[in-house]
Amino acid sequence: MTITAAADGSALGNPGPAGWAWYIDDEAWAAGGWKHGTNNMGELKAVLELFRATEGVDDDLLVLCDSQYVINAATKWMAGWKRKGWRKADGKPVMNVDLLQELDEALAGRRYRFEWVRGHVGHPLNEAADERARAVATAYQRGAAVPTGPGFPARRGGTAPAVRPGPASASPAPPAPAPSAALFDLGEPDAARVVPVGLTADEWQRLERIAREAGLPADEVLRGLVRDALRPSRRARSAG
């Protein structure tokens, strides 16, 4: 079996508010982005997250791209860049090296091929990915909620892992509003609950900064905040 998916990026101003998206169908797609990024960053990140989302699936992957840069980077240039220490023929550092190194790792051992499609000519999968990437860029521009999509559902033969952060210089999208695992563990196994949490882009950035400074995952920081908030009420119950 072959999974056919489109991957696309969008940047308003290039650089500017940026988004990425991959799309298989209305039940399997994902998107994210940054407050400030480039179109090439979005194009690379879309392909990277597509491979990550489908990494547990034993199917071939056909990736439809309207970016010759991404296709050539993945299929022609990457090996040479690696041999040269991620430098181009002129000795200058390769742009977007963090994303390229992550993509190189994600491609290892996978069965895939890329197909170039012309953008903005009505190709249904390409248009769907483009619309979602542009919607994310627009959301960052307006300070609105970012549409992240359902991911790759487990019922389709894989898992839907959380989107990993992009380059350190970019601000990742806020988390999806409905996490697939228990977000808060209150220390009582029979009381664990899935709690949807909606954060603004600014709130997510503040949480990420706190987590980075503490060297902890963002969800662990959130659990700690909740536990701290609940401790007085627990002591009150014990006293009662």
CATH of the domain at 197: 1.10.1220
CB of 169 closer than 8 Å to CB of 48: no
Based on the domain organization, do 21 and 93 belong to the same domain? yes
Based on the domain organization, do 152 and 92 belong to the same domain? yes
Based on the domain organization, do 218 and 139 belong to the same domain? no
pLDDT for 219: 61
Based on the domain organization, do 216 and 126 belong to the same domain? no
Based on the domain organization, do 110 and 66 belong to the same domain? yes
Task: Say how far apart CA 66 and CA 119 lie, in whole Å.
Answer: 5
Whether 120 is catalytic is yes
Render pLDDT for 187-229 as a digit per residue (tens, 0 to 9): 333 333 444 555 555 565 566 667 555 655 566 667 667 656 6
Render pLDDT for 96-152 as a digit per residue (tens, 0 to 9): 999 999 999 999 999 999 999 999 999 999 999 999 999 999 999 999 999 999 999
Based on the domain organization, do 193 and 148 belong to the same domain? no
Based on the domain organization, do 110 and 23 belong to the same domain? yes
pLDDT for 178: 38
Choosing from 120, 122, 190, 215, the catalytic residue is 120
* Better-predicted residue by pLDDT, 191 or 36: 36
Whether 109 is catalytic is no
Structure tokens at 84: 């040269």
Mean pLDDT of 162-178: 43
Looking at the predicted structure, is the pLDDT value of residue 167 above 70? no
Domain C-terminal end among 131, 156, 181: 156
Count structural domains, the chain. 2
Render pLDDT for 44-78 as a digit per residue (tens, 0 to 9): 999 999 999 999 899 999 999 999 999 999 999 99
Structure tokens at 105: 């790792």
Based on the domain organization, do 26 and 130 belong to the same domain? yes
Looking at the predicted structure, is the pLDDT value of residue 186 above 50? no
**Domain extent for 114:** 2-156
Looking at the predicted structure, is the pLDDT value of residue 232 above 90? no
| CA dihedral over 143, 179, 147, 23, signed as positive or negative | positive
Q: Return all residues near 217 (Cβ < 8 A) that are at least 6 apart.
A: 211
Based on the domain organization, do 92 and 142 belong to the same domain? yes
Choosing from 49, 102, 130, 219, the catalytic residue is 130
Whether 130 is catalytic is yes
pLDDT for 225: 74
Based on the domain organization, do 195 and 151 belong to the same domain? no
Choosing from 49, 66, 102, 219, the catalytic residue is 66
Task: Say how far apart CA 11 and CA 41 lie, in whole Å.
Answer: 9
Whether 13 is catalytic is no
Looking at the predicted structure, is the pLDDT value of residue 179 above 70? no
Q: Is 220 a domain residue? A: yes
Domain C-terminal end among 156, 178, 200: 156
pTM flag (> 0.75):
no
Choosing from 32, 33, 37, 43, the catalytic residue is 43
Q: Is 140 a domain residue? A: yes
Based on the domain organization, do 15 and 61 belong to the same domain? yes
Q: How confident is the model at residue 88 (pLDDT cuts 50, 70, 90)?
A: very high
**Chain mean position to CA 111:** 21
Based on the domain organization, do 76 and 127 belong to the same domain? yes
CATH number of residue 12's parent domain: 3.30.420.10
Domain C-terminal end among 113, 138, 156: 156
Structure tokens at 113: 């091929």
Mean pLDDT of 11-20: 97
Q: Is 98 a domain residue? A: yes
Angle at 156 between CA 217 and CA 147, to 5 degrees: 50
* Better-predicted residue by pLDDT, 48 or 154: 48
